[in-house]
Structure 1
């Protein structure tokens, strides 16, 4: 308490305002006594600063009230900020929860859709474990490597194709998988499931224990297919391809028909593999062309000449495969005895021209695999061989559709004698040939680029079986 005698009220007030510690003052108008209050009074009546004079008047400094108001305002602001932050956070979490539930619902609906197609969605971890770290490789094709795997029940074998350089995003990939998974036919390899996780794209197929047809096409191979089995393979393969062309909602061109892509189940029934990976009509075809470099021996002439590709390209490839199935050998033999091509006997290194000539002349018995020792159905062999020559005609318009091929093989449609395919004859004779399209038109096989390009492309057999294993004994 500070006292100032004979001081007016205004002077006392001024002195209090000039002192930061002053919270109020007492003033007596009669005695002009001024007493400054330096600490907040807890109880005014019992305060030691009280003089007891009845004329003393206590004045409280107004800044205390203002400070109190300011403190209350600050508390209100802080409270509003906290409440606002909680509201924003809550709203954000609510929106995220809705989006997550919607995403989970969409994913569940999608998986339910796959379940309807009997397709299982695998995780990469599951397939890595099933294939023992992708340790047992079955083969390698244009779209990626294939590995043998065992599902969790330890009794179901599968073939896992690990796609290389997948060009589509997850949504497009899943759409393609739906298309492939919806294709069900007894002569097509069944898709069991898939994995689309991060950058991993894998397809899971049924495992074919007897491997691919290619493993039986060698005159030196101890594995021999009976004629009955060969004919059943021919008809089954034709039915599978015909279904892709004519039985699906969207026409699917396989683009890579060859023995490596014809697999055999435990009963030696034919199963066409790798369908749908090459192209759904109208989609990215440039990548498909890039993967075909190793199997030019089965590629139709119009493909090489740059003309649009149709289902007749598959028909040509099937015809070339039929010749190999009939003869029990590959169409192109790169390693002949002595290391040189026998120009007098071209059939030793290039089978189709010689086979076509003999078949047209009625000498089918010379073309059929000699290891059968004549144990084959002559009518079936003649029909099958003649169909093969119709399929490899230079002009795609002359080639029959695959549905017609099936009827021709089964004897429902009469098979007439076909004209000789001039292009493959020109390949070994060196004669000039006005072929298919601009790329081969007016080209001399002895001097021009067209036929030499074809011969360069007639390489040795392609990759191993995609979804099959090493065949046991032959039927």
Structure 2
């Protein structure tokens, strides 16, 4: 080992690019005694033994060979870091811990809880000591990252001249979804030479090269101040996760100023993947010998034992395959993300044998029960009705959709159960049940105006995530008050993805059969089966009016002009009496916000889907970031379809509340409470009338 003074180290470091073409100081075993306690000692798995120095920094021991802190007994299952900045919370509810400590050319930082660590190595040419960047538009104090809902995560950046490593320490073993977030703020979009700078670096995860010659600005289509996110699925098998950003000597070095190069990152998060498996630990050194001994023992057992095992396995697999085919379990096996599976006996105990007292609700899919698992988690168990063919399709669809998405305003799926002909879904339990029960139920909650406004905003954010941030895009197809659940803090969570559809950005729409709930169906979907995300936008507009008014979108017990909520809202708007729509139970409310919600609802329920705003724009309008466009005339379907209300269908709706429909021959589906197989000659008339009446 070579021992040098601080001045000599800096001189050698400045020559490294010319000698090696690589600027990673930690590749050399050089330690300054004066800076011994700040050295980056982990890149080559150094092991330090005390040699005249009794003081050993707390946390540094966590970064030694094999990362000993919490090894073999993982205690964490996630972490999130706001690189270069203070602690913040994302719109999805994830808390990003602070990472704004000053790091110099060879140093490290480990959290007090030994949850994660960061190390830096390298010395910027030109003498710059900038290792973090805070970006804010000085002229307006507004953040300019328009393609994300979490602009605050991209305001700060951790920089390194050569090698930047982040570690998750003491993690439980299993599969993780790792998200890396970047934003390039050094190179401006302009016609000057300063826009020509390029930051190029490599990214390694668990020692594997996952992105080579990564260029943030290039990933952002050449635009500055544009958020870039990269997602990876990573296996943690030894209780630690390593993310290494390494400058390999490429790109520019001095644009727009000397020292502008090297890896850069804004935020990091790691969360358990849907197929997270606990206790996938490193095998002990003697496991190989044990395996050899086991093989020898099997052979010593003789041909008789092997023959018996062979016959047993063949018989068992044959029986198992027949059962799987009989119960459509092959669909579940084909999912990309396998959910956690519960045994039926476990769920039977959790729900106290599915007693009626634990019943939370019932729908076309089946009955939902409250239960308590062995680990103390309170859950909602949705049990598929054995007679529901539609429910079987919904079962697999719901698992596939919700296992692939995570958001604060989406309900969380814990797992499922498939045994014989039994199918159950296990969700997080939400104390305040559904929004329709809170608004219209006999035991309604006291939702003040500010709470209602927050619920409306939360639902909009959840749908914006499904439409614009999820890949592929997801259309829910059944947005309604009964499919919006409320947790203990009255935060809304969208549920019931059994009718959801996936489609990519290359498709303008999906031509599909009709599935959803009358009263929330967009005209182009109800009439032609044209499905886009604007179908959900229409339904959101109806739900928003229900939140304001505290009543169903259709109520035949009211006088004719008030029977259909959307038409009544338009009448009040045309007479400048919007506040008359507000729920009579609200003694106080913000009149400006009421008009804003109604204006957004009118935009969302326009006849043409191209006139409806995206859900991200809806969020911006509700937040007051942009103005709500003025709508001067009501949609054509409210004025063109005139007829007398003499059908028995209105009475049927009054008796049932709402009617769910599924007119989808391609999926061979049906639902409880349905309008199915409409004759071609009458389908337009009946559906038009249904939308007009809000059923």
1:82-97 alignment, distance < 5 Å: 90=306, 93=309
Distance 1:387 1:452 in 2: 28
Q: How far 1:426 sits from its partner (Å)? A: 4.0
Distance 2:592 2:311 in 1: 72
Q: Which of 340, 349, 353 is the equivalent residue of 1:129?
A: 349
User: Which is richer in helix?
Assistant: 1
Q: Does 1:224 align with 2:483?
A: no
Q: How far 1:251 sits from its partner (Å)? A: 1.2
Over 3 Å counting, the alpha-carbon distance change for 1:219 and 1:206 in structure 2 is closer
Any conservation in 2 of the 1:387–1:408 contact (CA below 8 Å)? yes
Unaligned runs of 5+ in 1: 1-85, 102-112, 337-341, 431-447, 462-475
Q: Does 1:162 align with 2:375?
A: no
Q: Which residue of 2 aligns with 1:355?
A: 569
Over 3 Å counting, the alpha-carbon distance change for 1:99 and 1:248 in structure 2 is farther
Per the normalisation by structure 2, the TM-score is 0.43
Q: Which of 267, 282, 296 is the equivalent residue of 2:518?
A: 296
1:5-34 per-residue CA deviation (whole Å, 9 max, x = no partner) reads xxxxxxxxxxxxxxxxxxxxxxxxxxxxxx
Distance 2:351 2:303 in 1: 50
Q: How far 1:90 sits from its partner (Å)? A: 4.4
Q: Does 1:142 align with 2:376?
A: no
Q: Does 1:248 align with 2:482?
A: no
User: Which is richer in strand?
Assistant: 2
1:248-267 alignment, distance < 5 Å: 248-267=470-489
Q: Which residue of 2 aligns with 1:368?
A: 582
Unaligned runs of 5+ in 2: 1-301, 318-332, 505-509, 645-681
Any conservation in 2 of the 1:360–1:417 contact (CA below 8 Å)? no
Q: Which residue of 2 aligns with 1:213?
A: 435
1:22-37 alignment, distance < 5 Å: none
Q: How far 1:378 sits from its partner (Å)? A: 2.2
Q: Which residue of 2 aligns with 1:424?
A: 638
Q: CA RMSD, aligned part only?
A: 4.1
| Greater relative CO (CA pairs within 8 A, separation 6+) | 1
1:169-227 per-residue CA deviation (whole Å, 9 max, x = no partner) reads 99x97796354223110001111111122232211001111111112334987643100
Match of 2:426, SS state, is strand
User: More deviation in 300-309 or 221-230?
Assistant: 221-230
Q: Does 1:381 align with 2:594?
A: yes
Q: Which residue of 1 aligns with 2:609?
A: 396
Q: Which residue of 1 aligns with 2:154?
A: none
Over 3 Å counting, the alpha-carbon distance change for 1:362 and 1:451 in structure 2 is farther
1:51-109 per-residue CA deviation (whole Å, 9 max, x = no partner) reads xxxxxxxxxxxxxxxxxxxxxxxxxxxxxxxxxxx9698478469879999xxxxxxxx
In the alignment of these two chains, the number of paired residues is: 335
Q: How far 1:327 sits from its partner (Å)? A: 0.9
Q: Which has the larger radius of gyration?
A: 1
Match of 1:120, SS state, is coil
Match of 1:303, SS state, is helix
Q: How far 1:358 sits from its partner (Å)? A: 2.2
